[in-house]
């Protein structure tokens, strides 16, 4: 177990120090200066020696049997499989149950989309993996040279690049409790001027170089349309312009998105439509 602290400004280091006294087998690494999630994880996995690697945030909960369950599942898979993911329970700041990542019927059978095998096109077009549930083969990280440290977040970029070189497998069990709280990174995803959306644009540019089939191009177009809409409606006009340009390069710029591009070029702010939609949908 390797704990990496990215120059925390709270009392994390004192808590880590207490754990190190009780468990000297844990290795502690400080980044020296705040370098972001991607660089911090890269320091951790490169210092490790295991065949399998888990990237795990400190506010989530790794269940006691998770490592053995996922390793056992990996041992039954062929060498072409490089990532294993599972279901997760969502909890709040006080560890109260909120729900599960996967939707199920009355008998507990999974209803949600959770594919195995070649998932590249699926990952381009939709979100279905709960990131902290993943276990990765070390060789996948070595082939990719870890996370891209120029990005503000890692998930989408890792999924796109890794699913092009290996297969994914879904293990139908809950191995992780994921904490949902107001201060999470994703809460500010479309806030004007943030680095998260700019990173998404960069990953979409990478994906453009990786698509090979018409189905994959259609999946990427779906992603680009979604991101361009949200970028425009949150006044991220520069990012929206880049996403629409990629959509045009794919040959998927419909009349609707040509109109959106025109509105975007003139910075006509229709963000109130997005606010109305979410208010109606989530607040009744």
Over residues 109-162, the pLDDT tens digits come to 999 999 999 999 999 999 999 999 999 999 999 999 999 999 999 999 999 999
Regarding whether 161 and 52 lie in a shared domain, the answer is: yes
CA–CA gap between residue 124 and residue 159 (Å, rounded): 9
Q: What is the pLDDT of residue 190?
A: 65
Give me the CATH number covering residue 136: 3.90.550.10
* Phi–psi pair at 206, nearest 5 degrees: -65, -45
Residue that is last in its domain, among 183, 207, 241 = 183
46 and 175 housed in the same domain:
yes
23 shares its domain with 46: no
Domain match, 89 and 157 both: yes
> Contact, 171 vs 70, CB < 8 A?
yes
Write phi, then psi, for 15 (nearest 5 degrees).
-65, -45
Per-residue pLDDT for 188 more than 70? Answer: no
* The pLDDT value given to residue 276: 64
Question: Is there a single domain that holds both residue 150 and residue 39?
Answer: yes
**Residues 58-76 pLDDT 10s:** 789 999 999 999 999 999 9
Task: Look at residues 281, 196, 193, 267 and name the one whose alpha carbon lies nearest to residue 233.
Answer: 267
Where does a domain end: 183, 204, 222?
Answer: 183
Q: Looking at the structure, do residues 265 and 207 belong to the same domain, yes or no?
A: yes
Query: Are 200 and 244 found together in one domain?
Result: yes
Report the range of poorest mean pLDDT among 118-127, 179-188, 251-260, 273-282. 273-282
pLDDT in the model for residue 185 = 47
Q: CB–CB of 93/192 below 8 Å? A: no
What residues contact 20, with CB distance under 8 A and at least 6 apart?
26, 28
- On whether both 10 and 48 belong to a single domain, the answer is no
What is the value of pTM for the model shown?
0.89
Q: For the chain, how many structural domains are there in total?
A: 3
Average pLDDT, stretch 29-42?
92
62 and 81 both lie in a single domain: yes
Last residue of a domain, one of 148, 167, 183: 183
CA distances from 273 to 17, 171, 262, 264, 279 (A): 49, 39, 17, 15, 10
- On whether both 132 and 193 belong to a single domain, the answer is no
- 59 and 9 fall within a common domain: no
Are 216 and 142 part of one and the same domain? Answer: no
pLDDT, tens digit, 9 for 90 and up, residues 193-209 = 678 999 999 999 999 99
- What is the Cα–Cα distance from 64 to 42, expressed in whole angstroms? 25
Domain of 208 in residue numbering reads as 189-283
């Amino acid at each position: 177990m390797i704990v990496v602290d990215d120059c925390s400004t709270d009392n994390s280091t004192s808590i880590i120090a207490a754990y190190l006294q009780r468990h000297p087998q844990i290795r502690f690494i400080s980044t020296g200066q705040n370098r972001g999630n991607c660089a911090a994880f890269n320091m951790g996995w490169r210092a490790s020696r295991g065949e399998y690697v888990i990237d795990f945030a400190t506010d989530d909960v790794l269940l006691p049997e998770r490592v053995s369950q996922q390793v056992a599942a990996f041992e039954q898979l062929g060498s072409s499989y490089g990532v294993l993911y599972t279901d997760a329970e969502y909890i709040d700041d006080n560890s109260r149950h909120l729900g599960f990542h996967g939707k199920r019927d009355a008998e507990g059978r999974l209803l949600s989309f959770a594919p195995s095998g070649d998932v590249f096109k699926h990952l381009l077009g939709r979100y279905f993996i709960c990131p902290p549930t993943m276990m990765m083969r070390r060789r996948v990280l070595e082939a990719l040279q870890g996370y891209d440290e120029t990005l503000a977040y890692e998930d989408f970029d890792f999924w796109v690049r890794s699913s092009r070189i290996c297969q994914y497998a879904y293990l139908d069990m809950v191995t992780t409790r994921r904490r949902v709280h107001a201060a999470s990174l994703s809460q500010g995803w479309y806030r004007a001027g943030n680095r998260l959306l700019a990173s998404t644009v960069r990953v979409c540019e990478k994906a453009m170089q990786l698509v090979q089939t018409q189905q994959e191009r259609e999946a990427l177009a779906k992603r680009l349309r979604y991101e361009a809409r949200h970028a425009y409606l949150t006044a991220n006009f520069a990012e929206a312009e880049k996403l629409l340009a990629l959509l045009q390069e794919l040959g998927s710029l419909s009349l609707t998105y040509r109109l959106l591009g025109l509105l975007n070029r003139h910075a006509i702010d229709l963000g109130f439509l997005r606010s109305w939609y979410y208010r109606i949908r989530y607040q009744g």
